[in-house]
Amino acid sequence: MCHLIHGTVQHYHDLQLYFISMLVLLLLSFVPLAAGLGRTQSVGVRGTLICNDKPAADVEVKLYDEDKLSPDELMASGRTDAQGHFMIQGHADEFTSIEPKFNIYHDCDDGIMPCQRKITIHVPDQYISSGETPKKIFDFGTFQLAGKYAGETRDCLHPYYTNAVPQCPQNSLSFDHDRCDPRRRSQCPSGFTCRRGNDTDRFVLPELPIYLCCETASMSIGDWFAEYLLTPSIFPQPPLAMLNSIEMRPLDANTAFPVVHTGDEMVLLTYPHYTTAMVQNVEFMSPPLQDGFLHVMTVIEPSSKPLAMFFVYNLKSVGYNRLPVPDTLQGLSGRASYVDNSTSVIKQDSYRSQYVVLVYRTNNPVLIGQNQIFTGQGPDLMAGCTDMKCMVSNSVLGKELGQPVAASIFHITTKQTLFQTVEIISDNLTQAATNVAGHLLIICIAYLLYFELL
């Protein structure tokens, strides 16, 4: 009997722990939703740091958006100059107002103490601006680091992370040692891209990666696909070669689209009605084999949802470096497309999309669906798949195409998007999240009381 009672109590305790664990996981599931979407807000800070009566030179300052339920988001970082001056600005995307703060990491009046002193200062709300560029800067004035301040802490990981000597992958050349963010555009000059670097001391942890502007001349197309996690997770085999260049259809009746190369960042915000770039010509590094058929696939956001795919197939391979993709197709050639609108994107001021253009070669013409068609739509093209990994690896078409003979990766930012959008009002979302959290809390308390009464 005692054994039975003990087993029953233990069972109830196990149920309690299980329920609490599920509740915590459910609450945490709201965190990435709120963190990954929202409106763009920016802030900037400037000031002067001194240590006793001397300028505090080479002191690192980091600007963060403080988050309650997830790690703080780094918006910008910088160092003081020889006179102790600093100026940093950055932006973040949040549904509600960002909560900007900046941390100062220093060793002023610290003797031989380990780690670094860390001072955190919050930026007043009136200095928060809409958009990526702050409209006014919070002037912090002159700040004495030698003093002792309430709330001051010590940071032991930061010195190692900050003082690490980063280097680009495969010993490639870096533009400088300033950090970059691969999620943001136009941070690196032409010929460089934001890549994950290595620490020469091998100290940096995986959760604290260092990104640098690294030269791209030595990168193969396989490197590009690996950097963007496209191979092997989506495309099992990397392309055999890199496309030399791509020409898109004109921006309008009077303006040609600039020639595109791998790694380019095209910003088309001055063309407010432009949405999607369509391939007009591709140029190979070396001509593909003569005879057989070439197929040009353009995938927009292959790693995400929603995604889109445009496919022009059965173009005769004539052994030239340049392959035109005509508007009017003849013979066995055809055009098919797939636009996934099962998921909406949040309405924004602009949309940055990753484009992947792949060229395949087959000895025989390919078929889409049951019959040869000139204009195909999603179900025929994707063969029931809803993501690129499935289509490439599992569909008959994907297996028939095999390994791409050439490819290119680049980004395009436009004012419009081809995907359907949804506008989320922050007040409504906050209220909805509050209601859900409140209901979950009530359910949790009710269950706990129920188990206590048993």
Three-state SS letters, 294-340: EEEEEEECCCCCCCEEEEEEEEECCCCCEEECCCCCCCCCEEEEEEC
Is residue 230 within 8 A of residue 211, CB to CB? The reply is no
Q: Residue 3 CB: number of other CB atoms within 10 A?
A: 7
Residue 168: which of 225, 90, 223 has the closest Cα? 223
Counting other chains too, the contacts that 15-23 makes at CB distance below 8 Å and 24 or more residues apart are: 15/451, 16/447, 16/448, 16/451, 19/444, 19/447, 20/444, 23/440, 23/443, 23/444
Is residue 381 within 8 A of residue 336, CB to CB? The reply is yes
Residue 106: which of 165, 67, 64, 54 has the closest Cα? 54
pLDDT given for residue 22 in this prediction? 55
CA 138 to chain CA centroid, Å, is 28
- Give the Cα separation of 192 and 176 in Å (integer): 11
Is residue 40 within 8 A of residue 30, CB to CB? The reply is no
Amino acid at site 184: R
- Give the Cα separation of 276 and 205 in Å (integer): 39
For the record, the structure tokens of 82 come out as 């020889």
pLDDT given for residue 417 in this prediction? 95
pLDDT given for residue 437 in this prediction? 54
Is the N-terminal amide bond of 209 cis, ω within 30° of 0?
A: no
pLDDT given for residue 356 in this prediction? 98
Amino acid at site 101: K
Element (H, E) at 284: strand 279-284
The answer regarding whether domain 221-422 maps to CATH 1.10.10 reads no
Q: Kindly report the backbone phi and psi dihedral angles of residue 319, in degrees, each rounded to the nearest multiple of 5, phi listed first.
A: 80, 20
Grouping H, G, I as helix, E, B as strand and the rest as coil, residue 111 is: coil
- Give the Cα separation of 174 and 179 in Å (integer): 11
Give, for all 454 residues of the chain, the pLDDT tens digit: 444 444 444 544 555 555 555 555 555 444 444 444 568 899 999 999 999 989 999 898 999 998 877 778 889 888 899 899 999 999 988 878 899 999 999 989 887 777 788 999 999 999 999 988 999 999 989 999 988 888 888 887 665 555 556 788 888 898 887 778 787 777 888 889 998 887 665 444 444 577 889 999 999 999 999 989 999 999 999 999 999 999 999 999 999 999 999 999 999 999 999 999 999 999 999 999 999 999 999 999 999 889 999 999 999 999 999 999 999 998 899 999 999 988 888 888 899 999 999 999 999 999 875 444 334 444 468 888 889 999 999 998 999 999 999 999 999 999 999 999 987 665 555 554 555 555 555 655 555 554 454 5
Element (H, E) at 378: helix 378-382
DSSP 70: S
- Give the Cα separation of 106 and 326 in Å (integer): 61
Residue 41: which of 135, 139, 180 has the closest Cα? 135
Residue 221: which of 208, 230, 210 has the closest Cα? 230
pLDDT given for residue 440 in this prediction? 57
- Give the Cα separation of 214 and 173 in Å (integer): 6
CA 245 to chain CA centroid, Å, is 24
Is residue 309 within 8 A of residue 278, CB to CB? The reply is no
For the record, the structure tokens of 58 come out as 């080479």
Burial track 386-405 (b if 16+ CB lie within 10 A, e otherwise): eebbebbeebebbeebeebb
Q: Where are the domains of the chain?
A: 1-37+434-454, 38-161, 164-215, 221-422
Cβ contacts of residue 197 below 8 Å, gap of 6+?
A: 166, 167, 168, 169, 174, 209, 210, 211, 212, 214
pLDDT given for residue 2 in this prediction? 43
Decide which of 2.60.40.3330, 3.40.190.10, 3.30.9.30, 3.40.1160.10 is the CATH code for 38-161.
Answer: 2.60.40.3330
Q: Report CA torsion sign: 430, 432, 436, 441.
A: positive
CA distances (Å), 322 to each of 245, 284, 314, 350, 392, in order? 9, 6, 16, 32, 25
Residue 76: which of 94, 88, 92, 59 has the closest Cα? 88
Element (H, E) at 223: helix 221-227
pLDDT given for residue 377 in this prediction? 44
